[in-house]
Amino acid sequence: MSLEPSLKSVLADIRKGKVAPCYLLHGDEDYLVGTALQEIVDALIPEADRGMNLSYLDGEKEDAISLCRALLTPPLIPGRKAVVVKNSRLLSSRQSLPDMVRKIKETLESDPARAVGIFTAFVRTAGWDIDDLRGENWRYIPAEEWRRLTGEEADEREKWLPALVEMCSQSGVSAEPETGGEEEINRVLQEGLPDGNCLVITAEVVDRRKKLFKTVSEKGVVLNFQQAKGRTGQKSRLFEETKEFLRQRGVDIEPKALNTLATKTGADLRTTMAELEKLIAYGEGKPSITERDVEEAVEKSGEASLFVVTASLVEKNLSGAVSAVRELLGQGIHPLAIVAVVVREYRLLLHAKALVMSGKIQGFDRNTDYGRFQKVVQPLLKELSSAGGEGEPLGLLLQHPYVVYNALRSSGNYSLDELVGILDCLTDVDMALKSSGQDPQLILERLAVRICNPSLSPAPRPSPRL
């Protein structure tokens, strides 16, 4: 197979039944990696079969034995089976350590959860244990060894290493040295998976010299999604992705509007796509997005709004949420005002989740477009609202239809227990802001980590006060 074909050709092959035993999606353009993963999963496994024949493993907690067992186990129901490993560290090596350090330093401020994840992989790959680095113990790593492994001078680590060790301590994150397992996975891939079984891996850092990478390249498909170089390259990619995004939704955008949007979002792909979703809703069925639409509905990047905070949290976009919180606090917005808006958002999501689980809106699923929602689901919601039955989520039903539509869709990002836990956490945050004397920015950033990446935070207590 071609080492790095286009995503379109890979999807076309899958739809024709030409399925590779493994797919590797890697690179630092996380938006493209994420969208490519979703498209490949959608092409591999019918939605009705995903509960049985699709499983996800967390790359931060990779266990070779469990992964091999999953790969060799036949599907539970007839059809294809896919095992997805997100943010895998199997393909990194000591030669990857300089790249890891660079990515840690690049993401520490904008996306602390991502930085922690890369840092734990960095520590394991280097053969250390986070417990051995706590306090000032990291200073005992000889300067020459540090330079040899990371490519940076030892005094540079003081600018970022203590902060990462402290963040791991506060979040209860640990990392033990690598104990092998790559050879076993490599053997399983070399010998071949059962018919219909497929491994899909995403990774930020890979070492192309590793035996496992060579096996994946030989037996499967590798797709590389690197950030475009330079402002011109970034805008060119943004324009290409934006047009495809809008084409799939039957909407166009004026050239001037696209240029204005790129300026306001800083040509960041993830931010731009979130703004496009908002613009489509803002247009209420208009076939084209105009420059005036962008000027009225999109704030300039950096001028955060409460909408950006809630939207980023719901999308589990930690970097966007943290940046928006910092901007709002910098503008003098009271932290309790931010919490109040987040509480309102998650109450609506909890109500939406309960409504979906009740079975009273059977014409709705996450892929329902807004037009169908208005024709099929909205009349059912009006009936429920008019009936005013006891226990109905009237707080949700009284909202604007598009707010209800988005809440119903977004509630699928969470389980009922997760939403209950987040509301409990918000109660604790409210109390901490009022009484603890802690730094409000730190409290809110920890809240963002808890919501966007709960694996980095302690489990919440039950029974929130709704």
Mind spelling out the 3-state secondary structure of 194-246? Answer: CCCEEEEEEECCCCCCCHHHHHHHHHCEEEECCCCCHHHHHHHHHHHHHHHHH
**Structure tokens given for 201:** 């891996």
- Residue 424 burial by Cβ neighbours in a 10 Å radius (0-12, 13-18, 19+): middle
Residues 255/294, Cβ–Cβ less than 8 Å: no
Query: 193: which DSSP letter?
Result: P
Predicted local confidence at residue 394, as pLDDT: 55
- In angstroms, rounded to a whole number, what is the distance separating the alpha carbons of residues 91 and 236? 30
Mean pLDDT, all residues of the chain: 81
pLDDT band at 462 (very low <50, low <70, confident <90, very high): very low
Over 50: is that where the pLDDT of 442 sits? yes
Pick from 216, 36, 206: nearest CA to 121: 206
Closest-CA residue to 215 (of 239, 173, 245, 183): 183
What is the DSSP pairing of strand 22-26 with strand 288-289? Answer: unpaired
Amino acid residing at 133 = L
Q: Which of 217-231, 366-380, 381-395 has the lowest mean pLDDT?
A: 381-395
How does residue 174 score in pLDDT terms, banded at 50, 70 and 90?
Answer: low
Within 13 Å, how many C-alpha atoms sit on residue 452's CB side?
A: 23
Better-predicted residue by pLDDT, 146 or 3: 146
pTM, full prediction: 0.56
Q: 375 or 208: whose pLDDT is higher?
A: 208
Q: How far is it, in rounded angstroms, from Cα 121 to Cα 131?
A: 14
Helix ranges, 80-181 (H):
97-107, 112-126, 130-133, 143-150, 161-171
Q: Where are the domains of the chain?
A: 1-227, 230-301, 321-456
Among 344, 307, 338, 301, residue whose Cα is nearest residue 441: 338
> Is the per-residue pLDDT at 332 higher than 80?
no
Q: Are 372 and 311 in contact (CB under 8 A)?
A: no
pLDDT at 466 over 50: no
3-state secondary structure of 407: helix
Q: Tell me the per-residue pLDDT of 36-91, one tens digit each, with 9 for 90 and over.
A: 998 999 999 998 898 889 988 876 666 778 888 889 988 888 889 999 998 887 88
Residue found under tokens 């790359």: 59
Cα 144 to Cα 380: distance, rounded to the nearest angstrom? 69
pLDDT tops 90 at residue 197: yes
pLDDT at 315 over 90: no
Q: What are phi and psi of 172, to 5 degrees?
A: 75, 20
3-state secondary structure of 366: coil
C-beta separation of 404 from 397 below 8 A: yes
259, two tokens: 């240029």
**321-456 is a CATH 1.20.272.10 domain:** yes
Higher pLDDT, 131 or 192: 192
- pLDDT at position 458: 47
Average pLDDT over residues 361-369: 74
Looking at residue 40, what is its pLDDT? 94
CA 377 to chain centre: 29
Q: Span 375-379, mean pLDDT? A: 81
When the candidates are 3.40.50.1000, 3.30.430.20, 3.40.50.300, 3.50.30.20, the CATH number that belongs to 1-227 is: 3.40.50.300
Q: Which CATH class is domain 230-301?
A: mainly alpha
